[in-house]
């Protein structure tokens, strides 16, 4: 099963204990929720809605349960195609990591619940694949910022300013493996014009793709589409 630094793990002990404590109606509601297209999606509104359905006071608890299930669903890298192999690996992981003790008074019954919650979900698999295609090849740009700087050209004696040079400083934030990083560069006015031309060129290419009947025969996934979990 997954091997990650402790700080990057979801709250597995609490989540497993919560799943073990659910009464039959609560468990059925959770099972229905994760079996849908939303899978283990844990947006704020969904966690609040599901928290009310489960009769819990804190949406953070629901977030922790869904995050833990998502973590366990992935398995070690790529999930084995054989579910039996996957669940045997899951059992071994829980026991070797001592998480098994968090499955309550009847750990076998709680583990059976995990098996049902972690059954392969084609909608989840599709969403994960699409998300990887969007972000898994190169870092994704997530925000942009800029400011204009006037740099003085001083006279030889440094007692006056002969001219000023406008320079644009541009910052792009990227997100890779859940960590944000910043890339800063500067552009002259001529560089800004080339940047604008390049963006217009990209827009034309995207428009051509969307208007091509051969491409329109396929589903086009854009930012407005649901990403799933």
- pLDDT, tens only, 187-213: 988 899 999 999 999 999 888 888 888
Cα–Cα distances (Å) from 209 to 203, 212, 215, 219, 226, in that order, read: 10, 5, 6, 12, 21
Query: What are the tokens at 168?
Result: 């644009």
Measured in degrees and rounded to the nearest 5, phi and psi for residue 167 equal -135, 135
Question: Is the pLDDT reported for residue 215 higher than 70?
Answer: yes
The b/e string for 35-50 (b: 16+ C-beta within 10 A; e otherwise) is eeebbbbbeeebbeeb
Residues 151-157 have a mean pLDDT of 93
Instruction: Give the tokens for residue 52.
Output: 């009310």
Q: Which residue has the higher pLDDT, 87 or 140?
A: 87
Cα→Cα distances 150→6, 146, 158, 169, 196, Å:
47, 13, 17, 11, 21
DSSP strand E in 20-160: where? 140-154
């Amino acid at each position: 099963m997954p091997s990650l630094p402790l700080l990057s793990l979801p709250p597995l002990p609490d989540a497993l204990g919560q799943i073990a404590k659910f009464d039959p109606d609560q468990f059925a509601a959770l099972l229905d929720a994760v079996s849908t297209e939303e899978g283990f999606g844990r947006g704020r509104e969904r966690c609040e809605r599901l928290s009310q359905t489960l009769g819990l006071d804190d949406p953070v608890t629901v977030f922790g349960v869904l995050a833990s299930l998502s973590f366990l669903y992935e398995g070690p890298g790529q999930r084995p195609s054989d579910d039996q192999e996957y669940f045997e690996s899951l059992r071994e992981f829980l026991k070797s990591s001592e998480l098994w003790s968090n499955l309550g008074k009847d750990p076998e019954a709680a583990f059976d619940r995990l098996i049902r919650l972690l059954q392969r979900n084609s909608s989840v698999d599709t969403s994960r694949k699409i998300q990887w295609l969007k972000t898994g090849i190169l870092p994704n740009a997530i925000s942009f910022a800029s400011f204009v700087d006037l740099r003085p050209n001083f006279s030889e004696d440094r007692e006056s300013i002969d001219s000023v040079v406008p320079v644009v400083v541009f910052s792009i934030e990227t997100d890779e493996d859940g960590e944000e990083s910043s890339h800063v560069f500067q552009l002259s006015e001529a560089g800004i014009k080339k940047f604008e031309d390049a963006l217009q060129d990209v827009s034309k290419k995207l428009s051509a793709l969307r208007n091509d009947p051969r491409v329109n025969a396929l589903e086009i996934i854009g930012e407005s589409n649901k990403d799933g979990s």
